Structure 1
Amino acid sequence: MAALPANVHISTHPCLLAKLSQVRSASTTPKETKQLIHEISLLLAADALARVLTAVPAGTTDVTPLGASFDVQTCAPASVTLVPVLRSGLGMLEAFETLLPFPVPVHHLGLFREKTTLQPVEYYNNLPTRVAAADGDGARPCDIAIILDPVIATGGTAEAAIQTLREWGVKRILVVSVLGSVEGVTRAATEGGGDDVQVVVGAVDSELGGKNGGMIVPGIGDIGDRLFLTIGK
């Protein structure tokens, strides 16, 4: 396998790799697929969030059931936004909301690949308009935006999502995926220089194939169709 950029982090967790093998199987039912993607996303969330968040004192104290006082800790930065890519990114969303110790905004991006060119087309974007600052520049919408998309195949969708978030004003972007191709992960990690981007992925397959060469091989199929029972649409 070709060397990947330094800002790409591949999981080595044995439970994740075992669950990924289960997702790969054509015999895995839709219900099982949905649960496995959630469980894999929990493992990815633990890894990914540890890379961008830091435990800090909350400045308050509380009392344990034994009556002992303790200093409360929280995470910084607190300004985090989750950005699931429709449709399949929704399958990862609950895991990240579960792991984060505080509620965060969720903004959806709708992107699909045009069948012939495989280029991404944006059909939905609910990122709010930024509030103008006193100096005329737009206020930063958040400290960290986390893109959730289970598969990075050609990398075009991830690249488009990164570009959209940069235009929105985000300074740090974390892309989290269950599975990527070498080509797609490299494209996402190096988009526009990549200094503001980190990619966390469960595993990387070396080939792209299938119709028009846009599917990861061996891959996990069209995970959006598998999650939402739209196979053969």
Structure 2
Amino acid sequence: MATDIPKNVHVSAHPCLLAKLSQLRSNKTSPKEVKSLINDISLILGCEALAASVTSVPGAQDVTPIGFEYTSSGIEPSNMCLVPILRSGLGMVEAIQTLLPSPVPVHHLGLYREPTTLEPVEYYNNLPNHLTDPAAASAQEPPARIAFILDPVIATGGTCAAAIQTLREWGAHKVVVLSVAGAVAGVKRAAAEWPEGVEIFIAGIDPELTNEGMLRPGLGDVGDRLFLTIGK
């Protein structure tokens, strides 16, 4: 692994996560197992990212089943959202929703890589008020303080960097990226898009890309593996 990974990139060393990542890499892993492994890896990454991004705060008084009072706990900031990158990011949503004590909005971004240039092209964006006149912003629901980008693979880094920039322009105070695997150059590119406002939590980093922009050794096309569209 490269030793010059930026400070805002956190590569997990959890042994169970590393074992599951190894299983996910295998071409023998069935589509059902792929879905389960993506979920499990996302749970572990989510625990690490949330522990570093939110704090526990006291909540209302409550009563246990045997009648003892106690002070409940919540998390701050409460104003956060999940932003899966279509399609493969959808496989990470349920795991992060499971971890959060209360539901949060899920906004979707659709980006694909242009085959020739490998640069990102946005085709879908459902961030609320993202096209509204900034002068009217005070009358709108404020953007999330923390936006969690869910993107299993960071290859060239173009798609992730574009998503970060979109969320920054939307008004997110901080962006946390959760990814299963990435290439060194791509992860660096994404981390450099907004160094003071971005944290990347990732399970594994591969040294290089193929000429087609795929990670080597990589995971294959995670979207195709999740949604059974291999060979489309």
* TM-score normalised per structure 1: 0.94
Report deviation, 1:136.
Answer: 5.3
- Gaps in structure 2 of 5+ consecutive residues: none
Residue in structure 2 matched with residue 218 of structure 1 by the alignment: 217
Residue in structure 2 matched with residue 82 of structure 1 by the alignment? 82
Structure 2 CA distance for aligned equivalents of residues 120 and 159 of structure 1: 9
Per-residue CA shift, 1:110-163, capped at 9, x if unaligned? Answer: 000011100001010001106889x85556311100000000011000000001
Structure 2 equivalent of residue 109 of structure 1: 109
Q: Is the 8 A contact 1:2 1:182 kept in 2?
A: no
- Quick check: 1:195 aligned with 2:200? no
Give the whole-Å Cα distance in 2 for the aligned partners of 1:114 and 1:30: 26
Residues 1:118 and 2:118 aligned together = yes
Q: Distance in 2 between matches of 1:146 and 1:4?
A: 20
Displacement after TM superposition at 1:167 (Å): 1.2
Q: Distance in 2 between matches of 1:124 and 1:100?
A: 26
The one-letter amino acid of 1:79's match is: N
**Across the two proteins, how many residue pairs are aligned to each other?**
228
Taking only aligned residues, the RMSD between alpha carbons, in angstroms, comes to: 1.5
Runs of 4 or more, structure 1, over 2 Å off, are 130-133, 135-140
Give the alignment's TM-score, normalised by structure 2.
0.94
2:7 matched residue in structure 1: 6
1:33-182 residue pairs with structure 2 within 5 A? 33-58=34-59, 60-129=60-129, 137-138=137-138, 140-182=142-184
Task: Please list the CA deviations of residues 56-81 of structure 1 after superposition, one character each: whole Å capped at 9, or x if unmatched.
Answer: 011x1111122211111100000011
Distance 1:208 1:90 in 2: 24
Percent of paired sites with the same residue:
59
Q: Which residue of 1 aligns with 2:230?
A: 231
Instruction: Give the Cα–Cα distance (whole angstroms) in 1 for the partners of residues 221 and 48 of structure 2.
Output: 25
Distance between the aligned counterparts of 1:132 and 1:156, measured in 2?
A: 27
- How far 1:200 sits from its partner (Å)? 0.4
